Structure 1
């Protein structure tokens, strides 16, 4: 997708989106990215975040005053633990090593939360229109990992996006298939969590579970499962239907915690890959099947974010608001 570029003379800042597989890094001024500054790095080629920052800055003569990094992992103050990478990082160390006055760490979903209010409609795909009202939102990320973050407006015009580790909550259980899946996951993972099924690797686990239930051997990677769904493979489509149902139920459960009447925003590579299947595989019925709370969740819009640079824009917005 095309990034929104800066046209201001605001101070230069460094922004980054560190995912489980790739890191995007760019310069920004104000709320916009500096044109042609975005670079992508494969995380497997680096020993840690500090090495990527040093590589990026070595390619530019101008140095940023501040930085904000969106990280796929647990953020606690100046410390980050990127669980899917096995990396640890400290914001003060990165600032000192690179001559940056201040480095901010945000959970990747926090950065997305700071971005969503400013996303143009052209960067969103409507999953269900709902009846939007207010300004409270919820971002749900589906990729290498899974997480969610609420987005709360304040009376002063700022945005508060609390950190969360929502991907590690227990998987919803509705019916014997889900209980059997939970037992299967607990035997292999020690817990049946949302991330264990809804992440990219989770889809692969879900397929293996369905294959074993059908008395078949072998598994497939996520891309092969999605390709098999396209060909009409019964096993792959059964897996896909189960995935979409669990996603709908999880999204509705998370919505009841914060009541995001302005909308739920799905982000990440797995979310985009499943977008064509959500309607066919019953996302609407799963999302709105909340018993006496069904009329409430029916009011909540759901959209898919199709902007690859949203987390970078969110980092820029975070710094610009401070």
Structure 2
């Protein structure tokens, strides 16, 4: 289990899921922040989300919990969630929330954007579950921003609502228009203009985006994992250049999020890519580019940035949102 089992979940065990374009993470929450039978399933191994959930619930690890039927579930998914029908942008899964609830025989099925769920986890992170990048001091009870590159680029934030409550923002900020800040980035933009027309931040700040950066700057085609490995090993200068560019662009876009939201409570970096970069990220131009906002640079220098290091932080947020929903049923 992860986290402290400090109180019993009302109405029985709950299924929590964090579904990305590549992997789907599942757990059974048996007590508050008590996550059992955590499993990561490859999305491309299952024809549908329903089949992946059924496989998880039928696994030996879940059966061994012997917690009885699971009737309440919450899914954080890497996709806009607007209405009953969900069709993933970065994967082929498509489903009706109401039909999936019936298929799984659930009393409650909450489906929300994955970065909305991750944003709701931010106030609950322990000091050991985040790493500060650069300076700044967070202001209590102020808006907090969130950005994270993975299969796509997630953006969200939370706004204080009084009484210790927070409201998460549904955002597709990863699709804002990319603007270059130097000659290398102008070269990448020109490369993508010819192919795409509109170039969003996600076209650079994602797994495929890192591959695009390398291709545009050097003409070389490698997978994101190999680019990272070679850059970390110091065996490929072109890969190191691509990762450095990636981190710098992330700093600029994270700074845009901070300015747009007035995120004086801090800006957090999530997603699956940045934690794997290690010293390539902490030693990069990320923070300098975050602060580089001309006349607003002194304002930016006061806003702290944090890398989320918790293993499954979205579970915390989606659990809080499910508790709020079931409390009103």
The two structures have a TM-score, normalised by structure 1, of: 0.92
RMSD between aligned alpha carbons?
Answer: 1.8
1:64 lines up with 2:67 in the alignment: no
1:308 lines up with 2:307 in the alignment: no
Contact 2:6 2:32 in 1 (8 A): no
Report deviation, 1:29.
4.4
1:8 lines up with 2:18 in the alignment: no
Structure 1: segments with no counterpart, 5+ residues: 213-217
Report deviation, 1:5.
4.4
Give 1:138's aligned residue. 145
Task: Between 247-256 and 259-268, report the one with greater CA deviation.
Answer: 259-268
- For residues 160-199 of structure 1, the C-alpha deviation after alignment (integer angstroms, 9 at most, x for no partner) is 1121111111112223332221121122233221111110
1:5-154 paired onto structure 2 within 5 Å: 5-10=4-9, 11=11, 12-29=13-30, 31-34=32-35, 36-59=36-59, 60=63, 62-135=68-141, 136-154=143-161
Contact 1:78 1:104 in 2 (8 A): no
Contact 2:131 2:306 in 1 (8 A): yes
Q: 1:86 to 1:190 in 2, by over 3 A?
A: farther
Partner of 1:26: helix, strand, or coil? strand
Give 1:215's aligned residue. none
CA distance in 1, matches of 2:83, 2:166: 18
Give 2:231's aligned residue. 229
- For residues 266-287 of structure 1, the C-alpha deviation after alignment (integer angstroms, 9 at most, x for no partner) is 1122111234123432222211
Kindly tell me the number of residue pairs found equivalent between the two proteins.
315
Report deviation, 1:30.
5.6
CA distance in 1, matches of 2:87, 2:4: 30
Contact 2:266 2:305 in 1 (8 A): yes
Runs of 4+ in 1 over 6 A off after TM superposition: none
- For residues 91-136 of structure 1, the C-alpha deviation after alignment (integer angstroms, 9 at most, x for no partner) is 2111111221121111110110111111111111111241110332
1:126-275 paired onto structure 2 within 5 Å: 126-135=132-141, 136-212=143-219, 218-232=220-234, 233-275=236-278
Contact 1:8 1:29 in 2 (8 A): no
Report deviation, 1:142.
1.1
The two structures have a TM-score, normalised by structure 2, of: 0.90
CA distance in 2, matches of 1:154, 1:31: 23
Report deviation, 1:83.
1.1
CA distance in 2, matches of 1:29, 1:262: 31
